[in-house]
Structure formats: structure tokens, C-alpha cells
Homo-oligomer: A and B are copies of this chain.
Amino acid sequence: MAGGHTVGVIATTPEPPYVAVIFTSIRATAGGEPYDEEGYVETAERMEALARERPGYLGIESARNPGGLGITVSYWATERDAIAWKGVAEHLVAQRLGRERWYAQYRTRVASVAREYGT
């Protein structure tokens, strides 16, 4: 997942256990502005739409501080589902563009959710 801005709601996930992929990133900039913002947003939205169609997809949440850190968390039924999504051809292209073009720094963490609570 390249990291999208379009998601404004808290994901409705089932009873744990399930898998969370936590993607934290800092955008590359040019002249103080995010580099290639248009291409980035287009790809992020496309990846989000693609992810939703994948087996085991449970939801996604995304937030970014203006000009700063971004966090995207995607939720999957199993780690196998998350790994399969990472290997989808069009997603691999987006990941490469992310590394080479859009992100100054990023970190992906794959985690197993054991408990959840809230409103």
C-alpha cells in the first residue's frame, strides 16, 4: 500500500486475531512541497481500490500530518493475505515508485492483532 488520503473512517474489523500492516512514511519534497503529489495521490487511490478487492482484505486507515509523517494501517484476515497483496504486480510497481520517488523514508511493520476495544 502506497498510503492514501481518501479514508476518513475507522475500519470495522472482526474479532481478533487478524493482521495489521503498519506503514509509516515521510514524503520526499522538492522546493518544500511533496514531490509529484499528483502521481502519488492517483497511485494511492488506485492501490486502495485494488486492495479492497483482494482476498482477506478487512479495512484500511490512513492519516498524514500536513507536510510530515504519514501512517497507513491495512487490516487482513491472515498474514498470507497481506503477503499476497504485497506481491501483486501493479502493487509491486507502486512500491518501487514509492521507494524511488515519493518517500524520503518509510517503515513497514507486520503485526498480529490480539485485542481490540473502543467505541
A: residues with CB less than 8 A from B are: 5, 7-11, 13, 16, 20, 22, 24-26, 61-66, 68-71, 73, 79, 99, 103, 105-119
Copy number in the complex reads 2
* Contact between B10 and A106, CB atoms less than 8 A apart: yes
The docked-state distance in angstroms from the alpha carbon of A109 to that of B13 is 10
Chain A interface, DSSP helix/strand/loop, else mixed: strand
**Contact partner of A64 among B63, B99, B109, B112, CB < 8 A?**
B63
Q: Which residues of B contact A66 (CB under 8 A)?
A: 66
Contact of A73 among B24, B106, B112, B113 (CB under 8 A): B24
Q: Is B108 touching A111 in the complex (CB atoms < 8 A)?
A: no
